[in-house]
Chains A and B, each alone.
Chain A
């Protein structure tokens, strides 16, 4: 099988790999780079558990080929905390009870991070629209929305 060299920018690091072209970004993250935060939850791009940030925007990594995203900035959940300190969204998810089983959480947190950073302030409706692509069965969404709004207000207050 044909293998191609790729250079992927993941969480600020360059990863050099040789892979067959039919591998998705999700598969490369999980199987080649041991970044198992992004999950596989469905076959048709409908659940959002594979979400990563592509140049800051949440996308489904299961719908991207790894070869397609060279030269782009890819952020996974593992890249959010700087080793010591968590991202405010991660902390808020803990504080507000926005995490239960945690399977949707990496994707949900990345999506939340993107929306918080893209708007100076947010309404409940805007948050719900932003996370509409991230399915969750455990929380009923309420505490997730609360956590995101809290981070957004906090950001507003400190800016």
Chain B
């Protein structure tokens, strides 16, 4: 039972009405008077020098108002980190993947824009192209970036304890290699930008995961102050890790608008969305894990080779998450981890909740194999290896609130683990996995969030926050937090969010920081407003501030519920006394600011950690290899649910993305020229409603000390845990681990066949 008034209540979200009415405007739905339509000319080569671009005929075509290319670009390279700067937002010297932007036009209509593209003549000098880390890391391979030797985008190396000795002394050691091709984000909204560049600067509407994170690179790219770049609020059709960074599309639309002196809209096709924004890393993981006789993990030695594509993107983070999430989920005294993210001539790869699926899915399958060899229930093995409050990871992060054990027990109970594990016939399987997700890691001067709360004379309030809502319900979340803090009903809170012209800086809705950091800032701002309200109310009620309780739009005296004054009256009284109630607050991640992904991977990484356990049950058709998901159960420790409904939503989203998508269906295929063969929803198999059962979502609490009302991130642990759960369920069903992702029917039959062959070779 909730001891709060609005927090913790399972209620519909506040922000969805425009969406069900069809009123919600996404970037592609917007228009401005005089708007032009843009199209992008893309490279037909995966790797080539740009020798010359002749756009004169295109420029002369009636209806064409601007043409841009690398010639119009400042010598500015963008990167998420100072040391990863490698991307010109339109390349000048060379193209590095099939489909990369080369030029763009803005015209009065789409037909004209298309026609104009055909009139742009580009001379290329094709270069040898490299399509896998094996090729690009090879000695003597052509450099994709001249200043990145060996085509290494980033190398992460962690070595804590004495892994070799621990493994040598282990009772059992499991060593395996896992591989997976690329995945895609599949957000339903294709990328679209509306940009208007005039004498006051740039207004831009585009999908994002943090408008402030887009404003800064755009201001650098144009050489104008950041405050002249206004990234505006817009409905966003999903992010899932793929839209946090500035995109060439943003820059191109803005550049065209600047040149044409008119608003410009650029709408991507699905193909462009799948290829030219971000993809999900392909990766190979080699893992060696040891346990003692009791099944306690002694050491993990893991090496991941990631196919990063043409640019760095969030490389250092992407290459680090595997070991971070693993060491935060399972206790281990010794850890060695090396990840090499290689450049290749493929589209750039960004952040994704469960990448690399080979690391998480692989290790979880190894844990099950070890459990089997020990004659132990895999659930028991996990219970023996969970982390706990106060646990210090190998890289010196301290775990704070932790209900991992409860997530295991609750998920197992709901899924019927004890009744099923070890008792299912061949072809039926059940699997389990655990995961942890860090909430809010330090990001230097841009890692914090600020918020204002403005009281209105009607006694309702407006929250002004930089947090962005990509569909996960952040707008509703901060309204709920403010309502609780201020003692107002949720409906009395309006929010103004995600607009860099109006809202304070926010770190962005990734690294799972929105609840802890953005929500924390809103709570602080609301608390500041409350303090001002209580001062006035104390006067009106002739009571002590400490004895006052705001609730349901009124301020009561503790113990005397008949003595109250309305919030509206307090607000108006303040105004009559020449005072506007204005609350302010900010919140920062707690962490070791000296910790750095590459150069110093040691110290407190984040403010809080969520935990989750997933259980999946499958039926495998042993003749065809087809998998049917019979059930998916997931328990997630979110600290405290601001809205349990919203947490369930995130758990369910995560489960689908991890299990049927990440394990069973999704991958990209390529031609020998680096062309994506399935950048569409016909041949890229996203799960349908008929591919999944109901997902049982269980909310677990642990009352985090740092999160607002004890809340941590709301559901992402399952995006990792369900990978292992489904992988293990399949292994349990067929008796063999499938080491290639995705486990499509052909991969499953290959694994069964491969096992049969090796068994007969062993004479078994």
Contact = CB atoms under 8 A, between A and B. Distances in A.
A109 B591 CA distance: 44
A103 B24 CA distance: 9
A140 B653 contact: yes
Contact of A101 (B188, B270, B680): B188
A7 B158 CA distance: 68
Contacts of A136: 188, 689
A131 B692 CA distance: 12
Interface in A31-59: 35-44, 46-47, 49
A28 B24 CA distance: 19
Interface string A90-133: 10011101011111111001000000000000001001110110
A66 B269 CA distance: 21
**Which of B21, B186, B648, B689 is most buried by chain A, counting CB atoms within 10 A of its CB?**
B689
A77 interface: yes
Interface string B660-695: 000000000000000000001110001011101011
B186 A137 contact: yes
A15 interface: no
Q: How large is the interface on A (under 10, 10 to 19, 20 to 34, 35 or more residues)?
A: 35 or more
B649 A143 contact: yes
Contact of A102 (B16, B654, B695): B16
A101 B189 contact: yes
A124 to B, nearest CB: 7
B682 A44 contact: yes
B41 to A, nearest CB: 18
A44 B187 CA distance: 16
A108 B237 CA distance: 14
**Which of A78, A104, A136, A138 is most buried by chain B, counting CB atoms within 10 A of its CB?**
A138
A76 B471 CA distance: 22
Contacts of B1: none
**Which of A43, A76, A101, A137 is most buried by chain B, counting CB atoms within 10 A of its CB?**
A101
Contacts of A137: 185-188, 238, 240, 653, 656-657, 686
B682 A46 contact: yes
A87 B655 CA distance: 30
A78 B21 contact: yes
B189 A140 contact: no
Contacts of A146: 694
Contacts of B655: 140
Q: How large is the interface on B (under 10, 10 to 19, 20 to 34, 35 or more residues)?
A: 35 or more
Contact of A103 (B18, B238, B688, B689): B238
Contacts of B18: 102
B271 interface: yes
Nearest to A37: B22
A132 B690 contact: yes
A81 interface: yes
Interface stretch (B25-33, B53-61, B424-432, B544-552): B25-33
B22 A36 contact: yes
Contacts of B29: 30, 36, 39
B271 A140 contact: no
Contacts, number: 170
Contacts of B701: none
B661 to A, nearest CB: 8
B646 interface: yes
A84 to B, nearest CB: 12
B238 A138 contact: yes
Interface in B695-752: 695, 697
A97 B646 contact: yes
B235 interface: yes
Given A97-B13, A102-B20, A144-B689, A41 B189 contact: yes
A107 B225 CA distance: 41
B237 A109 contact: no
A142 interface: yes
A97 B645 contact: yes
**Which of A37, A43, A128, A142 is most buried by chain B, counting CB atoms within 10 A of its CB?**
A142
A46 B695 contact: no
B680 A42 contact: yes
B471 A138 contact: yes
Contacts of B692: 140-142
Given A40-B28, A46-B681, A134 B689 contact: yes
A135 interface: yes
A133 to B, nearest CB: 8
Interface in B240-266: 240
A86 interface: yes
B471 A102 contact: yes
A56 B364 CA distance: 48
Contact of B20 (A49, A90, A128, A129): A90
Given A39-B189, A102-B237, A142-B695, A90 B689 contact: no
Contacts of A49: 188
Contacts of A94: 12-13, 16-17, 20
B563 interface: no
A106 B28 CA distance: 15
B260 to A, nearest CB: 20
A138 B21 CA distance: 18
B190 A41 contact: yes
Given A37-B23, A101-B238, A145-B689, 11 more contacts: A42-B270, A43-B680, A44-B682, A77-B22, A90-B20, A94-B17, A97-B13, A99-B16, A101-B19, A101-B470, A102-B18
6 contacts: A41-B270, A77-B21, A99-B13, A102-B16, A135-B186, A139-B656
